[in-house]
Structure 1
Amino acid sequence: MKMRKFSIPSSFVSVCWFSSLFAICLFSFLYLHPRDADNCLNILKINSSDTIISQSSKYDVSNETNLTPNVTNLVPMTESKSNDSVIELPTSNQDAPVAASNEPPPSNPTSNQVDGYDPTKIEEESDEEYDKIPSIDVFANPPWNCSREERILWLKEKLQESKLVKSTSRTQNIDEKIQVFLTNCRVRIFLTWIYPANLFGKREIFALESMLKAHFEGCVVILSRSMDSNPGRSILKPILDRGLKVLTLAPDFHYLFSETPAQGWFERLESGEVDPGTVPITVNLSNLLRLAVLYKYGGVYFDSDMIIIKDVSGLRNMIGVDSVDRGMRSWQTVGNAVLIFDKGHPLLWRFMEEFTWNFDGFKWGFGPEMATRAVSKAVNDSNFHFHVMVPLGFYPIDPISITRLFEKPSKNGPNWVKNKFGEINGESYGIHLWNRQTHGLKIEKKSVIGRLISNHCILCQDVYDS
């Protein structure tokens, strides 16, 4: 009797071989791969005198609500800036004054009267020291495969080295400086830039120009230690020379976060009780700083990658939806690249609470997620009154599809480019460039983005070389 040979299909062998190879590579990468360039293994030795709190404070957040409440009046925007361009969330007693949850808005105290802020702990900082701010972002690549203690010590070392959050002679009297500058401004606009000045490039300049062109009687405050220096001001000199109202200020984090929910989180971060995670801490400091400054002064916050098309002075207490479930006619997430709120608005306080309760330094997009969760909880709360703008307002295209807007007409067809430009330019207040996805893209000739920037810039230098 002839024995029948058993054969294994070659495809099965291939799958097994590749699976084994993948497993070996993954193991090698996770366990044999050298640690961060800053050498996580040595961080604890270098900083052995520092004290680490093994567990950060925990918060119990109850009564979580559905993150995608229905929107019953989702409508396209119109040129008229009427109330139809926003989704008004249900509330009662709309005209009654609102107070932040459990805390009244601050009465705009001076720096010497603020709890948790000690102006005597201010370091002197010379012009020479100030202008030698590093030209590289020392926070850009936090160690990703280190322990919690190593990450905390790495951050403490970088904060001390960079003086990023130190209260110094440069940050002193920030409240007075802001108040004086904002006098007689029709629109108050705030930006944050917690990166080296040399990274404030052409696209950021175009964004700033668009904000000023749409609001010639407005004032722009750029909260940035690096831009509030001779190198930073030299970058802005062509704009400043035209008499446009732009003020660069090194932020006093201790003062701006004082008497808000951000204060406790910031103090725990500095003392080593908060795991900063693997997302650069500058990203999350910006997420929190924009909330605190709007809470204390009111006005408009724009990300530095927003091209502004229309005057936003007719909008109040507004946040924009950046993604919608069209089938369910409900919004999914809101963005925090544009915030327009009155001073002391309770939703800003709630945003800061959500930030501190649920901080996750490992998650890109934590800011929008935090805002989405807070808005979801506030929808049916009668203490809040605010508006949610449809995506066409500030997020007319998603971060995946936006790459098409950078391409020349021959790639998408001239009619598509013409129609898309007409839609955004005619119906949107602005467009978010989603810089994390597009910073490496070249603006091609006659592309939608190129045409938008060209229409809304002031100096318009080298649009297609950026």
Structure 2
Amino acid sequence: MDDSTGLASLLLHRYTNLRVVGVDLDLLFQDTPLLEFFMSRKWTVNNTWPKNVLSNMVRVVVLWRWGGIYSDNDVISVRTYTLPLNAVGVAIPGLLGNGFLSFSSHHPILWSLMGNMKRGFIPDQWGSTGIHPLTRVMMEACGTDDAMSLMKQLPFSCANVTIYSQSYFSPFHFMDPLLNFKSDGKKEFDKAMNVSYSIHLYNKITKWSVVTVGRNSIYEITAKNFCPLTYSRASMHSNFF
């Protein structure tokens, strides 16, 4: 772990429930539908996003084994999670997101998802082990092939999983990622806070975007309120980060 700035140590000291752990991947994938696929390394061949594919696989296996809540590292929690386990959210109309997942251990949907991820892998397609198999598995479990129709009824439960609208976990659309960086975002931020449990910042798309201190963008307001230590370090010697 890189602690050259000292921020990691500060975070570990401030938040006592924060842990940094390693993983034995060969052991993790044992006795799961993804073992053969993982060991074959097919997911590393002609693939633009091998790290993303590995991350997609690991999150599902970890939830299968131990249960709990998973979120991407560019997802910021903005309130205590009070919804029951076994929940997913819409990413965009017609597709479910895997940036936030909540499941009890050994949930059958996760087992089905692992098999679907393996069978549906396409090296040059973003999400072929993420949002697409998750959507397929849930649509099959709900007995429909019309995702758009199903998503008009949210929240909706089937197979002991509840599907929530986009506003719950990623209220700001990734097709307009720069919305998070626009000045005077308090109105949009306050509106999201009525129902949202998290905000997705889409670092993959916005990693070169700049947050200017004092402009009250959604990103800055979120950082100030929910990542105060990181925000103070980022803005200590500069008016942008």
Q: TM-score range, shorter-chain basis?
A: 0.7 to 0.9
2:29 aligned residue: 257
Q: Hey, what's the Cα distance between the residues in 1 that align with 2:43 and 2:102?
A: 29
Q: Return the match for 1:293 from 62, 74, 77.
A: 62
Q: Give the conservation status (yes or no) of the 8 Å contact 1:294–1:300.
A: yes
Matched, 1:438 2:206: yes
Q: Return the match for 1:317 from 76, 83, 86.
A: 86
Matched, 1:268 2:30: no
- Give 1:7-156 correspondences, 5 Å limit: none
RMSD of Structure 2 on Structure 1 (CA): 2.3
1:456 aligned residue: 226
Q: Hey, what's the Cα distance between the residues in 1 that align with 2:191 and 2:174?
A: 18
Q: Give the conservation status (yes or no) of the 8 Å contact 1:403–1:438.
A: yes
2:8 aligned residue: 236
Report the TM-score, using the length of structure 2 for normalisation: 0.84
How many residues were matched structurally? 221
Q: Hey, what's the Cα distance between the residues in 1 that align with 2:22 and 2:114?
A: 21
Q: Give the conservation status (yes or no) of the 8 Å contact 2:67–2:106.
A: yes
**SS of residue in 2 equivalent to 1:352:** helix
Q: Give the conservation status (yes or no) of the 8 Å contact 2:59–2:70.
A: yes
1:306 aligned residue: 75
Find the structure with the greater CA-based Rg.
1
2:197 aligned residue: 429
**SS of residue in 1 equivalent to 2:64:** helix
Report the TM-score, using the length of structure 1 for normalisation: 0.45
1:374 aligned residue: 137
Q: Return the match for 2:51 from 271, 282, 285.
A: 282
Distance change (3 Å), C-alpha of 1:235 and 1:457 = closer
Q: Hey, what's the Cα distance between the residues in 2 that align with 1:457 and 1:310?
A: 12
Q: Return the match for 2:106 from 344, 350, 371.
A: 344
Q: Hey, what's the Cα distance between the residues in 1 that align with 2:199 and 2:40?
A: 36
**SS of residue in 2 equivalent to 1:304:** coil
Q: Hey, what's the Cα distance between the residues in 2 that align with 1:357 and 1:232?
A: 41
Q: Give the conservation status (yes or no) of the 8 Å contact 2:86–2:104.
A: yes
Q: Give the conservation status (yes or no) of the 8 Å contact 1:307–1:431.
A: yes
Q: Hey, what's the Cα distance between the residues in 2 that align with 1:341 and 1:233?
A: 35
Q: Hey, what's the Cα distance between the residues in 2 that align with 1:320 and 1:233?
A: 35
Q: Give the conservation status (yes or no) of the 8 Å contact 1:261–1:353.
A: yes
Report the CA distance between 1:384 and its aligned residue.
Answer: 2.2
Letter in 2 for 1:447: S
Report the CA distance between 1:284 and its aligned residue.
Answer: 0.3
**SS of residue in 1 equivalent to 2:20:** strand
1:386 aligned residue: 161
**SS of residue in 1 equivalent to 2:112:** helix
The percent of aligned pairs where both chains have the same amino acid is 26
Letter in 2 for 1:262: L
The runs of at least 4 aligned residues of structure 1 exceeding 2 Å deviation read 230-235, 273-278, 380-384, 462-466
Q: Hey, what's the Cα distance between the residues in 2 that align with 1:234 and 1:351?
A: 39
Matched, 1:363 2:120: no
Report the CA distance between 1:233 and its aligned residue.
Answer: 10
Q: Which runs of 5+ in 1 are unaligned?
A: 1-226, 325-331, 410-416
Give CA-to-partner distance per residue, 1:97-148, whole Å, 9 cap, x none. Answer: xxxxxxxxxxxxxxxxxxxxxxxxxxxxxxxxxxxxxxxxxxxxxxxxxxxx
Q: Give the conservation status (yes or no) of the 8 Å contact 1:299–1:342.
A: yes
1:405 aligned residue: 180
Q: Give the conservation status (yes or no) of the 8 Å contact 2:68–2:105.
A: yes
Q: Which runs of 5+ in 2 are unaligned?
A: 145-156
Report the CA distance between 1:254 and its aligned residue.
Answer: 1.0
